[in-house]
Amino acid sequence: MENLTPTLVSWASILEDNTRAQAELAATMPFIHPHVALMPDAHLGLGATVGSVIPTLGAIIPAAVGVDIGCGMIAVRTQYTTDDLPADRAPVRQAIERAVPLNAGAANRTVSREHTELRLERLRALAGEAGFDPASYAQRWDLQLGTLGSGNHFIEVTADETGGVWLFLHSGSRGVGNRIAQKHIAVARELCAGEDLPDRDLAYLTEGTEEFDAYIREMQWAQTYALLNREEMMDRVVRQFGEWVDGVVERVEEINCHHNYTEPEHHYGRDVWLSRKGAINAEEGRPGLIPGSMGTASYVVVGKGDPVSLNSAPHGAGREYSRTRARKTFTADDLRAAMVGIEYRDSDAFIDEIPAAYKDIDQVMADAAELVDVRHVLRQLVNVKGD
């Protein structure tokens, strides 16, 4: 851990100059208490750095939560081992791709599953309590429940160091969460238009105002949507995996955690709004998930409750190359070489997701050694992504 400024501490041994500069700006906001904590996977983001933990008093920065509200991970440990699996993994990848709509903007055509409808009923009730209509943001919000999205979102069949098989996926609140975030980022910019902000995307909402309350209500709804979206997809993945192995899947363990979200917490003697933008809750004893890239290890961890980190840990490897730079640097052949031994859909669309575009996950985890203990190391057997 390194003190970069009086209000910025960092666990990142790999830190680009522009990322550090962005984090330093965020840490100058007058309502930060006590400091911004920069995670080992930190990289440039919108206004606030991805991989940062931002505690605020009496205010909240919508861009510090980000546009994929509630994005996170879910993992299920099954009773199966790699010895139980069929040799040909292509059928399960293809079955998952049929069961879970992929890609940006993808949606289910209809809702016919009972467990899907039960989750939608819960979301409709919560939206009513929050006083807003999700359809005002995204008409197909209900049909996007149970869909993956694109970019760094994924579904995987993985194996731990003992050969135990885990089902693992990464996604968030889809189009409706994005539009909720964009709306409130714009509201914050408008309200702060007369202020001399270090970055317009550090515009904030003040606690006690209607705008603040509306954001909190809708943001919390989107966080629930993200949580249920991951549950919905996992139900489908479990079913497809069970058919592949011709057995009933026991959920020996299940972990579902956000890494883009805000909630009230108590740190350094004060009640704050803690925004984790690319970070997980790592309070003492809390299980968590830290993925690598599509071709590198992921980790099942347990938090150590480090107070200086504000009980936080990294959310993944963190990008080292922008998507544009990655596409100019790497080729489809490079991606194929990186994915040897992993069943995946061979597509040029995934070049910007090549493992080499991300930080070394082993270094990230070494930097995080005082934040979490590693319980399991997961290696991909099957990878599913959206274009």
**pLDDT score of 246 more than 90:** yes
Residue-wise pLDDT for 307-325, tens only, equals 999 999 999 998 889 999 9
Residue-wise pLDDT for 275-288, tens only, equals 999 999 999 999 99
For the entire predicted model, the pTM comes to 0.95
Measuring CA to CA, which residue among 343, 126, 321, 136 is closest to residue 224?
A: 126
pLDDT at position 230, please?
Answer: 98
Compute the distance between CA of residue 305 and CA of residue 314 in angstroms, rounded to an integer: 13
Residue-wise pLDDT for 342-366, tens only, equals 999 999 999 999 999 999 999 999 9
* Structure tokens, 333: 């052949």
Compute the distance between CA of residue 333 and CA of residue 356 in angstroms, rounded to an integer: 13
Compute the distance between CA of residue 300 and CA of residue 210 in angstroms, rounded to an integer: 40
Residue located via tokens 């509630």: 70
pLDDT tier at 109 (50, 70, 90 boundaries)?
confident
Residue-wise pLDDT for 117-126, tens only, equals 999 999 999 9
2-384 adopts what CATH topology?
Answer: tRNA-splicing ligase RtcB (3.90.1860)
pLDDT at position 46, please?
Answer: 84
pLDDT at position 106, please?
Answer: 83
Residue 41 near residue 364 (C-beta atoms within 8 A): yes
Fill in the amino acid letter for 331: T
**pLDDT score of 332 more than 90:** yes
The domains of the chain are located at 2-384
**pLDDT score of 370 more than 90:** yes
- Cα 23 → chain centroid: 19
Secondary structure letter of residue 304 according to DSSP: -
Residue-wise pLDDT for 161-190, tens only, equals 999 999 999 999 999 999 999 999 999 999
- Distances from the Cα of 251 to the Cαs of 77, 160, 211, in angstroms? 6, 15, 41
Cite the active site residues.
Answer: 315
Residue located via tokens 């040799």: 87
Region 57-78: what's the mean pLDDT?
A: 96
Residue 194 near residue 268 (C-beta atoms within 8 A): no
pLDDT at position 151, please?
Answer: 86
Measuring CA to CA, which residue among 365, 214, 322, 90 is closest to residue 330?
A: 322
Measuring CA to CA, which residue among 37, 33, 34 is closest to residue 9?
A: 37
The pLDDT > 90 percentage for the chain reads 92
pLDDT at position 103, please?
Answer: 81
| CB proximity list for 91: less than 8 A, separation 6 or greater | 244
pLDDT at position 270, please?
Answer: 97
pLDDT tier at 110 (50, 70, 90 boundaries)?
confident
pLDDT at position 318, please?
Answer: 87
